[in-house]
Amino acid sequence: MPYRIPIGPYHPALEEPYKLNIQSKGEIVEDVSVEVGFVHRAIELLAQRRNYVQDLVLVERVCGICSNIHTLTFSMAAEQIASIRVPDRARYIRTIMAELERLHSHLLWAGVGSEDIGFQTMFMEIYALREKVMDVLEIISGNRVNYSMNCIGGVNRDITDPDTVLAAVREIRAGIEKTIIPIFTANRTILARTRGVGVLSREDAVAYGVVGPIARASGLAIDVRQDFSYAAYEELGFKIVTQDTCDVMARVVVRALEMLESCRLIEKALLELPGGPLRPSELVTVIPAGEAVARVEAPRGEVVYYLKSDGSDTPVRVKIRTPSDLNIPSVRAMARGQALGDMAIIQASVDPCCSCTDR
């Protein structure tokens, strides 16, 4: 019996509104089409109407999950135009924030993924661990989600108490190593739902141009942190994680190992945190005329910002390209021939972020 099943735009499996039109025969998926644009807020347009200080707050709200990355990339683009050198301490703090954000984003993903396969206990366990990351973020920045840490030329806040952060990160690392990884790789019901499910072959990954953990789970060793190092990654020595089984399990493993790498980076950065100023003394900097492109590895993949300035206090053009933009269409390649019941976890394995995609 052929079905046409819409998942979304408002559906419990989806964190955010987007629509999957599933064409299925019985419980086997034949084809999927994806519809996005439900959260289009015209952020690029608004950014061109507001000044640089306001824009930093605005682009932070492109996405609530990877908010810090957006301000970081925007600041990097502006710094490039104005040729500002970011102080060393600020570069380290930026790295720490970016990696903490990756930790919380990947944990969030793991929680949502467990919920999508109906594993409530793991969801609870992961979210309990994630609260520790959120606590650290709140201690550092004063807010749990939108940290407003970056400013053009540096960071707004200092990490005043590195020891607390260090202790918390070690606790998180122990939680990931001792609970999450063993259960995800050993529990039979989880394996039944993830192994061999939602395969995206290396060729398809190249054809769809996927980025981030999905590309790395399909055997492509691409990562901005390695290829075009920024912030303090070069000093800290970043190691890339790849897998080549290309299924949902591979994406789980890539993200799990990436979390461990993040913990290592944060610990190293905290121990080697250099002294010095956090930002240039002038709060509102003037950006001269010019244009720049900045790229950063967000939790979901590469974020690209293009910024053009005419020397006034508002940018002429802000173009944002987010990783989910490239990753979401690949659901199509993953879904064909899969069971209908697996669609929730397949779409979740991409970690689609619609507020990023739609902007």
Partner 1 sequence: MGIFSSILKRSRRRSPWVYVLNAGSCNGCDIEIGAVLSPRYDLEQIGALRQGSPKHADILLITGPLTLRSAEAVRSIYAQIPEPKAVVAVGSCPATGNVFAGSPTVEGGVLNAVPVDVFVPGCPPRPQAILAGVQEAARLLAEGKTGRKQEAPHD
Partner 2 sequence: MINGIAQGLTAYFVWPGLLVSALLGWLFLWLSRKLVARMQRRFGPPFYQPFFDFVKLLGKRSLVPAGMSPLLYYGLPLAAVISITLVLAVLPLPGGVRASFTGDLILVLYLMEMPAFCDVLAGFASRSIYGQVGASREAALILGYSLPFIASVSALAIQAGSFRLEDVLAQPFSAVHVLAGLAFVLAVPARLKSNPFSIPNAEQEIVAGPHVEYNGPALALFELAHALEFVAVASLFALLFVPRLPSAGLTLLAYLGAALLLVVLTSLLAAATARLQIHRAFRFYWTWGALAAAACVVVAVIF
Partner 3 sequence: MGIWNLIRKNFLGSARTRQPQDLVPLPGDYRADLRHETSLCTTCQTCAYVCSPGAITFDRSLPGRVAWQYQMLGCTFCGRCVDNCPTGALSFGKDPQLLAHAVEQTRHEIITSACPRCGAEMIALPEVVLEKQYGSPLPADIAELNRLCPRCRKKSTSEAIKRGFTGT
The answer to whether 55 contacts partner 3 (rule: CB under 8 A) is yes
Q: Tokens 């932070």 map to which residue? A: 60
* Site track for partner 3 across 131-150, x = CB under 8 A: -------xx--xx--x-x--
Q: Which tokens in the block code for residue 20?
A: 């999957």
Q: Which helix (H) or strand (E) segment is 308 a member of?
A: strand 301-310
**Interaction residues for partner 3, span 164-183 (CB under 8 A):** 178-179, 182-183
User: Quick one: 63 or 256, whose CB is closer to partner 1?
Assistant: 63
Q: Which residue has the tokens 């999905």?
A: 214
Q: How far apart are CA 56 and CA 69, in angstroms?
A: 11
Q: Which of 210, 250, 326, 343 binds partner 2 (CB under 8 A)?
A: 343
Given a contact cutoff of 8 angstroms between Cβ atoms, the answer to whether 131 and 137 are in contact is no
Footprint on residues 179-208 left by partner 2 (CB under 8 A): 187, 189-190, 192-193
Catalog residues that contact partner 1 under the rule CB under 8 A.
9-12, 15-17, 37-43, 45-46, 49, 57-58, 61-65, 67, 108, 111-112, 123-124, 127-128, 130-131, 134, 143-146, 353, 355
* Min separation Cβ 138 and partner 2, Å: 21
Q: Is residue 354 within the footprint of partner 2 (CB under 8 A)?
A: no
Nearer to partner 2, 94 or 193 (CB): 193
What is the spatial distance between Cα 204 and Cα 215, in angstroms, rounded to a whole number? 10
Contact 170/163 with Cβ under 8 angstroms?
Answer: no
Sheet holding 28-35, edge to edge: 2-7, 19-25, 28-35
Is the bond preceding residue 2 a cis peptide, omega within 30 degrees?
A: no
Site residues for partner 3 per CB under 8 A: 50-51, 53-55, 57-58, 60-61, 121, 125, 128, 138-139, 142-143, 146, 148, 156-157, 160, 178-179, 182-183, 186-187, 283-284
